[in-house]
Amino acid sequence: MPPNAPRPSAASAITTTNDRPVYVIGGGPGGLATAAALRTRGVRAVVLEKSDQVGASWRNHYDCLQLHTTRTLSALPGLRMPRSFGRWVSRDNVVRYLEKYVEHHELEIVTGVEVARVDPAADGTGWVLHASGGRELTGAAVVVATGYNHTPHLPGWPGRSAYPGELIHAAAYRDPTPYRGKDVLVVGTGNTGTDIAVDLAKGGASRVRLAVRTPPYVLRRTTAGWPAQRTAVLVRHLPAGLVDRIGDVLVRVSVPDLSAHGLPRATGGVYTRVHEGAIPVQDVGIVAAVRAGKVEPVAALTSFDPATGEAVLSDGTRLAPEAVVAATGYRRALEGLVGHLGVLDARGRPTVHGARTAPGAPGLHFTGFTNPISGMLREMARDADRIARTVERSRTRART
């Protein structure tokens, strides 16, 4: 944090009074953006962050991470990202920006407090948050911003305990130094998996293989200087079928066919796949690495042989990597927090998002639980303003 920045308040600073603020659960970009938008409208917002610093998940991402969205389309409400950060902002600069954002907006942050459950207030107005230390905090409204990448998901591959090498989730990966000279299998072909595979190949791993269950759509991050994100913003409200056709043309024109190298072209339509939860991979080196043989696509990992510890692939191939990095995604982990309120779908995702609230749960908002092609930070910034307007209107109606 900058040396002169105000420190987030400690957990002991929480008081339970008749003043009911809006509680924002989570001190990441979505939570901070919403708190700032509320403060701009004169609504007191208190951000509850379970770690000891804001932006905790960003601090824990792998070192080489850059935003796949442009700096100008990734800023949160009320503060631009500095031009010195460059077009593609690094992980460390995202963290610096979030720290500066707290300082700039003078946000009320309380760290070291984890909210375990949210219930309707007994008087029928507002919400009670059951937090660590036995606290019960009553808020006029609640914004859940605990993050899309909350709890690492590691598949229960049969025989996993027999694997003799190092097996980690991508959440624990930092840099390629520990893997120099090693044979590494990366499982998962999202942006995280392909980023890590390229990082390992550049960082000196002796062999890098990428286990592919479903071939991803790979898009150029920019084409002739035009960022893919700007195209995504332009087409996001068009019918999925039309965007699928446009996307297929763009992919075939701009991205080489890697089928001969073991990575077939994706099928199913790029926008249709987005609605199913599969975000296109932004090419920050994976195409060149695959073409050069530095990253070798292989079939999906299905199990480990309990007798030999070998990794068994869907095509019957057996591998003996020295390390496995599982870029297999995250869970939202909202069931304990709000699962009893009827606001989650069968997959544990909020049924409504942003300014909208679920029937029977007025004043309970969610932000940051979608991964749109137009950019998560951009959409969280837009959500923040919408939520703030809705909360302000609700408070105005309550006073009249």
Least confident window among 47-56, 138-147, 221-230, 342-351: 221-230
How many helices (H) and strands (E) are present in the chain, helices listed first? 10, 22
Residue 315 above 50 pLDDT? yes
Q: Average pLDDT of 177-197?
A: 97
For tokens 């409204």, name the residue: 141
| pLDDT on residue 152 | 95
Tell which wins on pLDDT, 19 or 30: 30
Q: Average pLDDT of 242-270?
A: 93
Q: Average pLDDT of 216-228?
A: 90
Is domain 153-326 in CATH 3.50.50.60, yes or no? yes
Chain centroid to Cα 289, Å, comes to 25
Percent of the chain with pLDDT over 90: 83
Q: Which CATH number fits domain 11-150+332-399: 3.40.1160.10, 3.50.50.60, 3.30.9.10, 3.40.140.10?
A: 3.50.50.60
CA distance linking residue 57 with residue 28, whole number of Å? 7
pTM for the whole structure: 0.91
Percent of the chain with pLDDT over 70: 95
pLDDT digits (tens, 9 = 90+) for 57-85: 999 999 999 999 999 999 999 999 999 99
Residue 200, judged by CB atoms within 10 A of its CB (0-12, 13-18, 19+), counts as buried
Q: Average pLDDT of 346-374?
A: 94
Tell which wins on pLDDT, 91 or 225: 91
Do 153-326 and 11-150+332-399 have the same topology in CATH? yes
Residue 237 above 90 pLDDT? no
Task: Name the residue ranges covered by the structural domains of the chain.
Answer: 11-150+332-399, 153-326
| pLDDT on residue 396 | 80
> How confident is residue 6, by pLDDT bands cut at 50, 70 and 90?
very low
Q: Average pLDDT of 210-224?
A: 93
